[in-house]
Amino acid sequence: MPVSIDVKDHIAQVVLNRPEAMNALDPESVSQLHAAWDRISQDDDIRVAILTGAGERAFCTGADLKKTPPPVETFAELHYGAAGQGPGLANLKTHKPVIAAINGYALGGGLELALQCDIRVASTQAVFGLPEVCIGSIPGAGGTQRLIRSVGASDALLMLLTGARIAAAEALRIGLVSRVFEPADLQLAAHEIATQISANAPLAVAAVKRLALMGRELTLTAGLELEQQAFGILRNSEDRLEGRNAFAEKRKPVFRGK
C-alpha cells in the first residue's frame, strides 16, 4: 500500500510508503491519505497522528507526474461539478493534532502536505521548496495560502517567487518547522511529542486546535468570545473534573474523552 497507518498507544503512525519514487503522490496515495485522515477523525482510540515518509531520502516530493495524467474534464467540471468531488490534496481535515516528521525532501505538494499538519519537526537533512514557478505553474494544493500563514510574508514570498530550496536550519529560523533533529533521532522525537499530546484530555486538545486555527481568521474580540464559549462547554466535562481531582490527589489523570 502506498500509505500505511498503524495505531498504538493512542498514536497513529501514517507513512507515505513509496520510497522508490521519493514518496511522490499518485492518485491511489491521495485516496489512501484521505482514508487515513477519516480514520484518525473517527477512531476514538486515536488521539494524535504522525505523518512521515518511508526511507531516508524523502518525506514527499509532490505529485508523481508519471502516474498522474492530466484531467479530461474541463476546469468548470473539476471546480464546481461532480468531477471535482473526488479526493484532492488541498483539504485534509481532522480535529485531532497531526505532527509531520519531515525526514528528507519536502518539495511541491510534499511541502503543501506538511503545511496541513499542525506541528512540523524535521531532520537536519530535510530540504524544503515550492518550485512550481520554475516550471510555469503555481502551488495548487494550498501552498500560496498556508505558507504565508505559517511564516513571515517576506520569507514566504521569497520561497514562492524564486522556487528556491531551503535547508532545515533555515526552515527552523523562519518558523516553518518547530524543531530540528539528527536523522536517527527524528522519529523518536516526533513520538515523544505525540505521547505528550496523547496524555492530555482529548476534548480539550481538540478544542484548543479548533480555537487556535479559527482564531487567526477572527478579530481578537471575536476570538476571545469563542474561547470563553469553549471554556464553558468544557467546564463540566468528565475529563476536566478528572484532571482537577488527579491534581488534588497527586496522581496521573486518566482521560476518557468525555
Residues involved in catalysis: 112, 132
Distance from C-alpha of 101 to C-alpha of 173, rounded to nearest angstrom: 17
Buried b (16+ CB within 10 A) or exposed e, 12-35: bbbbbbbeebbbbbbeebbebbbe
All three cell numbers of 9: 498507544
The identity of residue 9, as a single letter, is D
